[in-house]
């Protein structure tokens, strides 16, 4: 009789322990993915700024050409896709990442030169909702490269509107990680 009671108690507690364990694992996964998304935004903005600096020096004193701006955007895409290779939901179309969605802009004295986002921008990506972004004032008059990215992280446990005691609810399944980074082009 006592063993049967223990087995029933274990059967009642086991699902909660599994959800707790998988929640801890998912938290670690989303944290690691967040670090990766941060790195891809920062590193691709820096690579774009370095590429833009080379294009600007080659074109000086004139404005870089459209193909030179396109080369900067391509370099940003290459670096971002390389950084994103460890992300679980990464999707490619040819040599372009479509997940995470990546958008880039070069803001200089000639205006904003933005690429189209690399994939379809979901409504959950608030940073890319009004693409392309408007030109903000250039920091100290210096041009800068801006990279915006949005990544869909899918949890291992997919719970939709789970009702909990005390009127609480829980929804897990998709988490959108968004980052926007700018790198100033300093040409001394």
pLDDT digits (tens, 9 = 90+) for 6-62: 888 888 888 888 878 888 898 899 999 999 999 999 999 999 999 999 999 998 889
Q: What are phi and psi of 97, to 5 degrees?
A: -75, 125
Is it the case that residue 187 has pLDDT exceeding 80?
no
**DSSP H stretches of helix in 60-90:** 66-83
Q: What is the distance between the alpha carbons of residues 105 and 182, in angstroms, rounded to a whole number? A: 9
Q: Write the CB contacts of 160 (distance below 8 Å, at least 6 apart in sequence).
A: 171, 173
Per-residue model confidence (pLDDT) at position 23: 81
Per-residue model confidence (pLDDT) at position 135: 62
Per-residue model confidence (pLDDT) at position 155: 85
Reading the block at residue 5, the tokens are 């009671």
Task: For the beta carbon of residue 169, count every other beta carbon within 10 angstroms.
Answer: 10
Task: For the beta carbon of residue 82, count every other beta carbon within 10 angstroms.
Answer: 13
pLDDT digits (tens, 9 = 90+) for 108-166: 988 899 999 998 998 889 989 888 887 666 656 789 999 999 999 988 877 666 677 77
pLDDT digits (tens, 9 = 90+) for 70-83: 999 999 999 999 99
Task: Give this prediction's pTM.
Answer: 0.84
Task: For the beta carbon of residue 104, count every other beta carbon within 10 angstroms.
Answer: 27
pLDDT digits (tens, 9 = 90+) for 91-119: 998 888 899 999 999 999 888 999 999 98
Domain parsing of the chain, residue ranges: 2-184
């Amino acid at each position: 009789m006592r063993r049967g009671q223990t087995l029933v108690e274990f059967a009642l507690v086991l699902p909660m322990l599994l959800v707790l364990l998988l929640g801890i694992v998912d938290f670690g996964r989303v944290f690691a993915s967040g670090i990766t998304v941060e790195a891809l935004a920062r590193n691709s903005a820096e690579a774009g700024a370095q590429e833009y600096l080379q294009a600007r020096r080659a074109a000086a004193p004139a404005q870089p050409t459209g193909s030179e701006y396109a080369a900067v955007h391509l370099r940003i895409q290459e670096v971002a896709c390389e950084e994103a290779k460890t992300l679980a939901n990464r999707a490619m179309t040819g040599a372009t990442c479509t997940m995470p969605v990546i958008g880039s802009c070069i803001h200089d004295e000639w205006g904003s030169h933005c690429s189209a986002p690399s994939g379809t921008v979901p409504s959950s990506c608030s940073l890319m909702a009004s693409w392309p972004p408007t030109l903000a004032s250039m920091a100290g008059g210096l041009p800068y490269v801006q990279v915006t990215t949005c990544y869909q992280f899918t949890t291992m446990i997919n719970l939709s509107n789970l009702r909990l005691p005390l009127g609480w609810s829980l929804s897990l399944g998709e988490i959108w990680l968004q980052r926007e980074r700018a790198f100033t082009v300093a040409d001394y």
